[in-house]
Each structure stands twice: as structure tokens, then as C-alpha cells.
């Protein structure tokens, strides 16, 4: 099963940019469970 993200293009682009950067980073992701 492949995770499906709906209407999260901007958020996924942000995470992909941070993933490609050098060095360590801390990104906090929060929200209601089973939503988003």
C-alpha cells in the first residue's frame, strides 16, 4: 500500500527541499491523527 497525500503539494515540496539540503535539521509535523 502506497501512502496517499491529498492536496499537500506545497507541504511535500517543502519537505523535499529540506531533505535535499546538507546537514541535519529538525522538522516538527503535527496535526490530528488520520487527517491529511
Q: What is the pLDDT of residues 1-19, one digit of tens each?
A: 566 777 888 988 999 999 9
Q: What is the pLDDT of residue 34?
A: 73
Tally of domains within the chain: 1
What is the domain range of residue 6?
Answer: 1-35
HEC profile of 1-36: CCCCCCCCHHHHHHHHHHHHCCCCCCCCCCCCCCCC
pLDDT recorded at residue 21: 94
Please report which confidence band the pLDDT of residue 33 belongs to, taking 50, 70 and 90 as the band edges.
confident
Q: Given pLDDT bands bounded at 50, 70 and 90, which one contains residue 26?
A: very high
pTM: 0.63
Amino acid at each position: 500500500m502506497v501512502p496517499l497525500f491529498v492536496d499537500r503539494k506545497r507541504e511535500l515540496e517543502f519537505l523535499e527541499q529540506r531533505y535535499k539540503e546538507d546537514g541535519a535539521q529538525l522538522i516538527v509535523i503535527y496535526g490530528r491523527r488520520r487527517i491529511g
